[in-house]
Structure 1
Amino acid sequence: MALKILVVDDEPLIIEVLKAYLERDGYQVFSAITGSEALSKIETIKPDFLVLDLMLPDISGEKLCKQVRQTSDIPIIMLTAKTAEEDRIQGIVIGADDYISKPFSPREVVVRIQAILRRTQRLTEKDRLSFNNGALIIDLPRYQAFMEKEELELTPIEFKLLAGMAKYPGRVYTRSDLLEKVQQDTYEGYERSIDVHIKNLRKKVEKNSKKPEYIITVFGIGYKFGGKPDVTHSSQ
C-alpha cells in the first residue's frame, strides 16, 4: 500500500511539481492550499507524511504544525522562504522533522522524505503487526487494519478485538477477557454479546467465515488468533 503524503502550499506550481516527483516514486499524493483545508484532510485521509509551507493564506504554518502536534506524530517537513537561522530553529522546536528553504530541488525534498520515513518506520515497526506473509497488517497507532492491501472497515470494538488478540497469537481468550478489552470504549454488554462482534469481525477478515484462519473458536472457552506472524513483535 502506497504511503500517503499531504502537500500543503498555496502555490499550485509547487504542488504540481512535488506531486509529479512523489508519485513517480510510488507515493499517493494529496494537496491543500489552506491551513483549514489541510486540517480537514489530515482528519479524513490520515496521511503518513506532511509537507507544509509556512506562508499560508489563513493559518500560519507554525500554528498549523503546533495544532497537528497536539494529536499526531506524523513526520513533517516545512517549506519556507525564510532563511534566518532562528526561523529554521523555531520550525524544529515546534515539531517539524526537517526544514527546507525555497527555492529548493524537488528531488532533494523526495530524498529527505525518504530518509525521515526510513527513520520513523524503524521506530514504529513494533506498532505494525503483519501476518500470513503480509496478507493481514494491523497498524496499531492509526487504528487501521488491511487485508491484501485493502483497508478493512472495522468498528472501534472490532478493531480492539482484532488487535488485542493479534498481539498474542495462539493465546486463548475467554469472552470475559475480550469484554474487558472493549469496555474502555464505554461499551456495556454481556459476555455473549462478544459472539456477535466476533461474527461481524470474521465477515470482514476471513475469506471464508465458516473456516476461519484468523479468529478461531476454542470450544467451551472462547477465541484465539490464528494468524502466523511474519516477524517477531512485542506488545505495547
Structure 2
Amino acid sequence: MSAALLYIEDDQEIGSFVSTHLKEQGYEVNWVTSGERALEAAAGCRLVILDVMLPGLDGFTVGQRLKKAEPDIPILMLSARTSIDDKLQGLQFADDYLTKPFHPDELTARIEVLLRRSGNRSSAEPLAIKHLLVYEQQNRVENGETGEEITLTGKQFHIFSYLLRHLGQILTKEQIYEAVWGEPYIEGDKTLQVHIRYLREKLERDPAAPEIVETVRGIGYRVRK
C-alpha cells in the first residue's frame, strides 16, 4: 500500500508539478492549498510536506499545530527562505527543511528517509479493534483471529484511519469526506457511503450487522473499541 502524503502548497504551478512527480513515484498525495484545515487533512497520512509561505496561517504556525496534534507524523518544510534563523525556526518542530529551488529527486529521497525513520520508530503495539489488529504507521490491518492481512485501498485506509484517530467519536459524513477527499461535501453524494460499504465487506465479520464501523443514523459514522 502506498504511503499517503499531505502536501500543503498554495502555488498552483509548483503544487501541480510536485504532486504529479510524487504520484509518479507511487505515493498517494492529498494536495491542499491552505493550512486552515491541515489538522483534518492530516488524518491517515504518513508524512506532511509543508510550504512556509501560505495564505492565512503561515507554515510555521500550521507546522507547530500539526506537530502538537500528530507528534508521530514527520513534517518536511519547503521554503524559499534560506536564512539560518528561518531554518532554525522551522526545525524547532519540523523533521527536515528543504530550500527552494530543489530537485524533485532530492525531495523524494528526503521523504523516503523520513518515512524509514518514522517506520523504525513505530514498531509500537497494534491497536486492537474487535478481531482486528491495526498497524497504523505501517498502513496495515490484520485479522487477529486468522493472522491474515486485510488489503485496503488507499481511500479505505484513509477513511478507517480517520475514524480511528477519533475513536468513539461520532463523525459526520461531511467531516469524513472533507478530511479524506480534501474538498467540500455535496449533500446527496454517495461516494463515502459506497466506500464505507466496501470497507465493511473487508473488515466486518458480518457486513450486514457491522460491529466496527457503526452507522449513527442521521449523523454519520463511528468506530468504538
Name the aligned partner's letter for residue 17 of structure 1.
F
Q: Do structure 1's residue 33 and structure 2's residue 29 form an aligned pair?
A: no
In structure 2, C-alpha distance between the alignment counterparts of 1:38 and 1:69, rounded to whole Å: 11
Q: Deviations over 1:60-84 (max 9, x none)?
A: 1010011111210211000111101
What's the offset of the Cα at 1:23?
1.2
Corresponding pairs, count: 158
- Indicate if the aligned counterparts of 2:38 and 2:66 stay in contact, CA closer than 8 A: no
Q: Supply the AA of the counterpart residue of 2:118.
A: T
CA gap of 1:206–1:80, structure 2 versus 1, over 3 A, is same
User: How many angstroms apart in 1 are the aligned matches of 2:30 and 2:52?
Assistant: 18
Q: Is residue 124 of structure 2 the alignment partner of residue 122 of structure 1?
A: no
| 1:57 paired to 2:59 | no
SS in 2 for 1:69: helix
Distance 2:26 2:136 in 1: 23
Does the Cα contact within 8 Å between 2:119 and 2:137 map onto a contact in 1? Answer: no
Query: Which one-letter code corresponds to 1:108 in the other structure?
Result: E
Does the Cα contact within 8 Å between 1:51 and 1:77 map onto a contact in 2?
yes
Contact 2:39 2:69 (C-alpha < 8 Å) held by counterparts: no
Report how far residue 47 of structure 1 moved.
Answer: 1.3
AA of the residue aligned to 2:134? I
> Per the alignment, in what secondary structure is the counterpart of residue 36 of structure 1?
coil
| Separation (CA, whole Å) in 2 of partners of 1:114 and 1:143 | 15
User: Residue 6 of structure 1 aligns with which residue?
Assistant: 6
Amino acid at match of 1:97: D
Give the unaligned 5+ runs of structure 1: 130-135, 161-200, 209-236
Distance in structure 2 (CA, Å) of the matches to 1:140 and 1:28: 16
Number of the residue aligned with 1:82 = 81
Is 1:96 the equivalent of 2:94? yes
Q: Cα distance 1:142–1:123, how it changes in 2: closer, same or farther (>3 A)?
A: closer
In 2, the alpha carbon distance for the partners of 1:204 and 1:121 equals 24
What SS does structure 1 have at the residue aligned with 2:6? strand
Over aligned residue pairs, what C-alpha RMSD do you find? 3.4
Q: What TM-score comes out, normalization by structure 1 length?
A: 0.57
Per-residue CA shift, 1:6-64, capped at 9, x if unaligned?
A: 11011112211211221122110111111113333224xx2111000011011010100
Q: Provide the rounded CA distance (Å) in 2 between the counterparts of 1:202 and 1:21.
A: 33
Q: Is the 8 A contact 1:21 1:107 kept in 2?
A: no
Question: Which one has the largest radius of gyration?
Answer: 1
Query: Kindly, what percent of the aligned residue pairs are identical?
Result: 28
Letter in 1 for 2:65: Q
Give the alignment's TM-score, normalised by structure 2: 0.60
Distance 1:47 1:82, change over 3 A: same
Once the two structures are TM-superposed, the CA of residue 86 in structure 1 deviates from its matched residue by 1.6
Deviations 1:103-122 (A, max 9, x none): 11111111100011111101
Q: Report which structure shows greater RCO (CA 8 Å, sep ≥6).
A: 2
8 Å Cα contact 1:17-1:106 kept in structure 2: no
2:122 aligns to what SS in structure 1?
Answer: helix
**Change beyond 3 A, Cα 1:205–1:66:** same
Matches within 5 A, 1:1-236: 1-43=1-43, 46-73=44-71, 74-93=73-92, 95-128=93-126, 138-139=134-135, 145=141, 148-150=150-152, 151=156, 204-206=203-205
